[in-house]
Amino acid sequence: MSEPDLASLNAQLAELNNRSRTYSGRLWQLPLAYLGAAGVALSQLTATTLPVGLLVTGLAGLLLGWHLVMIEDGRDRATPFHARAKRHASPMCEPRRAAKGGPGGVSPSGEGLGDSRC
């Protein structure tokens, strides 16, 4: 079997990056789906099966939380400047950037205005 060519590998990498971005952008839906499914499942239980149902849904919640943390950790490792970029994209930074004289963080008089987070 022959080795794939570089163009094919680049296309595969681009598609993988697009899918990863799409998946990580929709992570907020997972806890809501879990809460809905857990609520429906627990509402169907009787008094005798409720403790087992609580145990199972609790375990599923812990696994979901672990999954979300690992996804975030992987995204941060894959893009080292992700956390800093996320802070800079915050709506709280927009007024500070404007007060600092733009994206450079320097006022019109040439001095920095302090807050290094934005």
| Residue 70: half-sphere exposure toward Cβ, Cα within 13 Å | 6
DSSP per residue, 12-59: HHHHHHHHHHHHHHTTTHHHHHHHHHHHHHHHT--TTTHHHHHHHHHH
Given the structure tokens 């320097």, which residue do they identify? Answer: 106
Confidence band for 81, pLDDT divided at 50, 70 and 90 = low
Residue scoring higher pLDDT (11 or 96): 11
The phi, psi pair for 4, rounded to 5°, reads -70, 150
- The residue ranges of every structural domain in the chain are 28-99
Q: Are 93 and 100 in contact (CB under 8 A)?
A: no
Q: How far is CA 68 from the centre of its chain?
A: 8
Residue scoring higher pLDDT (66 or 24): 66
10-24, 46-60, 75-89, 95-109, range with the lowest pLDDT: 95-109
* Span between the terminal Cα atoms of the chain, in Å: 51
